[in-house]
């Protein structure tokens, strides 16, 4: 196992105690903790630069613009984009997918067209397409998941035809951790001329990702799930699609000219970034990318697989506990959802919190998947670079105590 335990000292919040116990933070699929390098970058921006971008001829404005665009270049390099202008800063994955649905979908989908999704999608990759279907008359089709919690491609040939215009898939499930079959769906899309949209909110932070090799047309992800600030994310798109796509927000910054009755858009990516952007957050995003690049994404992936393997082995020893997700760590990430007997996930999370253990409980913005699994909710532990096997042991002990509390022993 790659030893990243030395990184824990970079995360101030991990020094907290909760209810008299050291914090065991196991909710990184929801949001990650921030290293001091990211915190300092944001603080330094506000203390020493803090000006608006692209608008001023004075020194601070030029420095702010350089910092903002430097972060865009870092994010582009991190995901293997060929040019920084292929990266649009958004408020996060949800906003990015909405940009695609409204900016591309409204202008390219119509009656009889189909959007192909999977039942493991986050609501952010379902609801926008539902709304667009009402506007355009297109229909939604779904691939199910198999007994191993992975997307079932056996019905793909029955669904796939020239009416499929969009295939939208999660790169990694935020519930089961299952990797999405992006490569297979890209090949399927090529056969019928469809575009592929990847919700990479869980993929980019955990798996080395090169968009030039992935083959998708759009990739969306969020900074806060990869050590960066909240309120910012990125949409990567193929240049020709970004050029043809309409902006979904209008106002300042995204125009090259405004007349009384018509306007012309600024070049990509700025035509999608209306108004004052989240400059400090972008600086923090760049610092997070620097941090992960220094660690090395291959090591991030190896570390997470080792922690996940250890967790799956430990949890398998707990009676009455069901884990939802692929057993093979090569086919999954570090989001481990589970159910303890018939105890509601919120009750499990409440007991664990008494021992300083932070896990997620609920439907995880994936209600269609919850219904498919026939559970109202799950508890979820999710791991990142700062987690250790000791964290897993603490979770194990907490769940054993929960069994006692609920009379399962």
Strands 218-222 and 195-199: parallel
List own/partner pairs for 291-300 with CB under 8 A and 24 or more apart. 291/10, 291/35, 291/37, 291/38, 291/227, 292/78, 292/205, 292/226, 292/227, 292/385, 293/78, 295/4, 295/7, 295/385, 297/207, 297/208, 297/209, 298/208, 299/2, 299/4, 300/4, 300/206, 300/385
Q: Is 176 helix (H, G, I), strand (E, B) or coil?
A: coil
Query: Is position 365 annotated as part of the catalytic site?
Result: yes
Whether 334 contacts 382, CB under 8 Å: yes
Q: CB neighbours of 384 closer than 8 A, spacing ≥ 6?
A: 28, 32, 33, 205, 206, 304, 334
Whether 28 contacts 224, CB under 8 Å: no
DSSP state of 253: S
SS3 sequence of 22-46:
ECEECECCCCCCCCHHHHHHHHHHH
Q: Which of 120, 288, 365, 402 is catalytic?
A: 365
Residues involved in catalysis: 365
């Amino acid at each position: 196992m790659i030893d990243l335990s030395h990184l824990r000292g970079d995360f101030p919040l991990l020094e907290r105690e909760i209810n008299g116990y050291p914090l065991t933070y196991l909710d990184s699929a929801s949001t990650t903790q921030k290293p001091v390098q990211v915190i300092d970058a944001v603080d330094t921006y506000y203390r020493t630069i803090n000006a608006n971008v692209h608008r001023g001829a004075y020194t601070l404005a030029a420095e702010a613009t350089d910092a903002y665009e430097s972060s865009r270049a870092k994010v582009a390099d991190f995901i293997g984009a060929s040019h920084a202008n292929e990266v649009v800063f958004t408020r996060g994955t949800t906003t990015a997918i909405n940009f695609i649905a409204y900016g591309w979908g409204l202008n390219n989908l119509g009656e009889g067209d189909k959007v192909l999704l999977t039942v493991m999608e986050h609501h952010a990759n379902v609801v926008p397409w539902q709304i667009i279907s009402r506007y355009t008359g297109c229909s939604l089709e779904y691939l199910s998941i198999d007994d191993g919690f992975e997307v079932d491609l056996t019905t793909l040939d029955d669904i796939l035809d020239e009416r499929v215009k969009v295939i939208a898939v999660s790169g990694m499930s935020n519930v089961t951790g299952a990797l999405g079959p992006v490569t297979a769906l890209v090949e399927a899309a090529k056969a019928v001329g469809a575009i592929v949209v990847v919700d990479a909110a869980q993929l980019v932070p955990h798996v080395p990702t090169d968009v030039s090799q992935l083959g998708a047309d759009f990739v969306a992800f969020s900074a806060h799930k990869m050590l960066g600030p909240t309120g910012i994310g990125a949409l990567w798109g193929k240049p020709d699609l970004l050029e043809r796509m309409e902006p979904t927000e209008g106002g300042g910054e995204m125009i090259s000219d405004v007349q009384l009755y018509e306007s012309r858009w600024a070049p990509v990516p700025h035509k999608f970034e209306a108004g004052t952007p989240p400059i400090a957050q972008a600086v923090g995003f760049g610092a997070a990318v620097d941090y992960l690049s220094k660690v090395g994404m291959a090591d991030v992936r190896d570390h997470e697989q080792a922690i996940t393997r250890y967790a799956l082995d430990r949890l398998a020893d707990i009676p009455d506990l069901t884990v939802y997700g692929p057993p093979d760590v090569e086919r999954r990430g570090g989001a481990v959802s589970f159910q303890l007997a018939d105890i509601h996930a919120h009750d499990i999370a409440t007991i664990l919190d008494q021992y300083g253990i932070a896990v997620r409980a609920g439907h995880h913005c994936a209600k269609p998947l919850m219904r498919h699994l026939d559970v109202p909710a799950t508890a979820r532990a999710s791991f990142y670079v700062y987690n250790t096997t000791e964290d897993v042991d603490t979770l194990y002990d907490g769940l054993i105590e929960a069994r006692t509390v609920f009379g399962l022993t």
